[in-house]
Structure 1
């Protein structure tokens, strides 16, 4: 990450990353298939964390309310407040391949999260199709909120930005 932050994403090569990590290029590719995977490695466990947090929410809580509560708790856990996170966020915001890879990671979360949302009540269980639509919209809201948070240099409250985006979608 230090290489990406100092030299820029596009200017940093996998050979430089391997040398900086003290491993061979082949070993590096065993763990990371692309440079994008290195930057977005922090998202690897996020789907599971969201699923676990959803499971911990009250079973009778509606999908949108549960998602907002989870987003608020994850965003305020302290990991989103550092200058380093902002710098990584800027790289992601400015690099098309990272934005695309982020969307791909989010798509992978659907297998974990749709079943959790599908059993939550609205006035009745929402079902698989509705859960997929809610999740897709919620992830778009999360991306918008995160991008606005980064663009504002972290000055805004990330859960509030997410809540604002959710309110717009639900209006």
Structure 2
């Protein structure tokens, strides 16, 4: 019964998502209301909120699931890889195949042009950081109790920013350049000489 309930819920979630995305991409995100989505999906407004907290979650709700997949991919990377290489490899291994490139371009444009979606995207990526940092810290041999050792947080934040930069560049280019290549170009621009500690981190008053 639990499995049946889960499949039913996933099917309804998927149907609401598809319906909402069609409305967003034809009418515009701000012009589409929750009542519009509920009516088109044949559900009540109350039912909508059983699956989504906001309109933004319809567009970006799967980001958390993607973050967990990246965490799993990161943990599965070879033990000898440095943290930077492992992070980039993990991101490369998780691809969103829910939409074709043309639809993905429309979604990227919508996200970049809608302030509420941009803000929600940043919030979701902060949750990615919380998911990925512990494994990067482990690979660096960092002490989580040391407040001065910010290497893991900095590496994860940098790689996530590179992904955002690549997405914006891909959108500006109208999808004519592979997103993976743009991501690689971004990470190459800021790739550290080594992700391993070259010297002991100072722990104390920097002054």
Please give the TM-score of this superposition, normalised by the length of structure 2.
Answer: 0.75
Displacement of 1:29: 1.4
> How far apart are the structure 2 equivalents of 1:127 and 1:168?
28
- Report what 1:96 is aligned to: 115
Is the Cα–Cα contact under 8 Å of residues 4 and 12 in structure 1 kept in the other structure? yes
> How far apart are the structure 1 equivalents of 2:99 and 2:153?
26
- Could you list the structure 1 runs, at least 4 aligned residues long, displaced by more than 3 angstroms after superposition: 77-81
Alignment map for 1:9-158 (pairs within 5 Å): 9-75=29-95, 78=97, 81-121=100-140, 125-128=141-144, 129-158=150-179
Unaligned 5+ segments in structure 1 are: none
Larger Rg over CA atoms: 2
How many residues in Structure 1 have an aligned counterpart in Structure 2? 167
Could you report, residue by residue, the CA deviation over 1:79-138 in whole angstroms, capped at 9, with x for unpaired residues? 5752111111110111111111000001112221111111114xxx25552111111111
Is the Cα–Cα contact under 8 Å of residues 71 and 159 in structure 1 kept in the other structure? no
Tell me if 1:8 matches 2:28. yes
> How far apart are the structure 1 equivalents of 2:143 and 2:132?
12
Q: Aligned to 2:139, what secondary structure does the other structure show?
A: coil
RMSD: 1.7
Displacement of 1:167: 1.9
- Report what 1:162 is aligned to: 183
1:50–1:111 Cα change, 3 Å: same
Q: Which has the higher contact order (CA 8 A, sep 6+)?
A: 1
Please give the TM-score of this superposition, normalised by the length of structure 1.
Answer: 0.89
> How far apart are the structure 1 equivalents of 2:116 and 2:48?
19
Is the Cα–Cα contact under 8 Å of residues 64 and 127 in structure 2 kept in the other structure? no
Is the Cα–Cα contact under 8 Å of residues 3 and 17 in structure 1 kept in the other structure? yes
